[in-house]
Amino acid sequence: MQINIINVTEAINYIENNLADKLDLEIVAQAVHYSKYHLHRVFTETVGLTIHDYVQRRKLTEAAKLLIFSDKPIIEIALIAGYESQQAFTTIFKLMYKKTPRQYREAEEFYPLQLRYVLNKKPTKICVEIDWKRDILFAADSDIPAWMDLVHLVVDGFPYLKEDEYLKQLKRCIQKKQALIIKDEATIIGAMAFDNETGSIDFLGVHPQYRKRDIAKAFLQKLWGELLKNTPISITTFREGDKADPGYREVFKKLGFAEAELLIEFGYPTQKLTLHKDNLEVSDFE
């Protein structure tokens, strides 16, 4: 496990130091002196994205930043991002950001598609079963910096995140005992903000390194085991087929969430999903 973390960290460092250059699996593997088959496997298992997808999302994020904070022509930004034409750049940018580069620039509101991935270098709960009664705690104000570290890591799931407004809402949730966390030492590996009257989940973030630990399911067990009784749970996520979705929708559907109404949130197309307690096994709450 530690060797894999070192491998992936070296790959990420190389990618981040060479974002303006051509990058693919073979180039990165050669640069860090690993087999491309080995690197593909450990990178995807650890990050939850292939190197191709990670590079694409990072380059598009940097391109979005240039669209808002520079006066560079769009064709120049397209070339910097590694696209041979403005049309090719516009096509993929619209798929991921739901606006053309020109529309995005005119809106004057930057948000990242993918920030630099930061690994937990000394994980202790990767191979340990999560116990929702023992491991899930109410968040405190002192947890806010670590909570925001997680937010930045999974920002791809929360388009149009405005940090000032988000922090105000997070503090209110903490005061109302509507913010839950799971920690691995000092690192928050799972966080949930919810409304115990409506059953809506306003934020659910899971550290990608721990995505196979059933953390999302553990939060649901906590809600219905102690906090919500039989209230149906709802969450909004990417619509089916959204290329910007790194896999959140699939996770929720596997947990038993059913499709509900289509929504537009902050100008972004999403869908509400709902879950009833009967969809989870009775033994989950024992």
pLDDT tens readout for residues 76-88: 999 999 999 999 9
- Residue given tokens 């630990």 in the structure block: 213
Q: Whole-number mean pLDDT of the chain?
A: 90
The set of residues, in sequence order, having a beta carbon less than 8 Å from that of 20 and lying 6+ positions away, is 80
What sign has the CA pseudo-torsion 117, 118, 122, 127? negative
> What digits encode the pLDDT tens for the residues 196-236?
889 999 999 999 888 888 899 999 999 988 998 778 999 99
pLDDT of residue 1: 55
Q: Where residue 285 falls among pLDDT bands split at 50, 70, 90?
A: very low
Q: What pLDDT is attached to residue 282?
A: 42
Task: Say whether pLDDT at 169 is over 50.
Answer: yes
pLDDT above 90 covers what percent of the chain?
67
Could you tell me which residue, 215 or 121, shows the higher pLDDT?
Answer: 215
pLDDT tops 70 at residue 281: no
The confidence band for 3, taking pLDDT boundaries of 50, 70 and 90, is low
d(CA 33, CA 19) in angstroms, rounded, equals 19
Confidence of residue 140 (pLDDT cuts 50, 70, 90): very high
pTM for the predicted model, two decimal places = 0.86
Distance CA 12, CA 32 (A): 10
Contact indicator for 161, 170 with CB cutoff of 8 Å: no
* Calpha distance 102→115 (Å, rounded): 22
Q: What is the DSSP letter of 84?
A: S
In tens, the pLDDT along 177-207 reads 999 999 998 999 999 999 988 999 999 999 9
Task: Lowest mean pLDDT of 59-68, 165-174, 196-205, 222-231, name the range.
Answer: 222-231
Q: What tens digit of pLDDT does each residue of 238-269 get?
A: 999 999 998 899 999 999 999 999 999 878 89
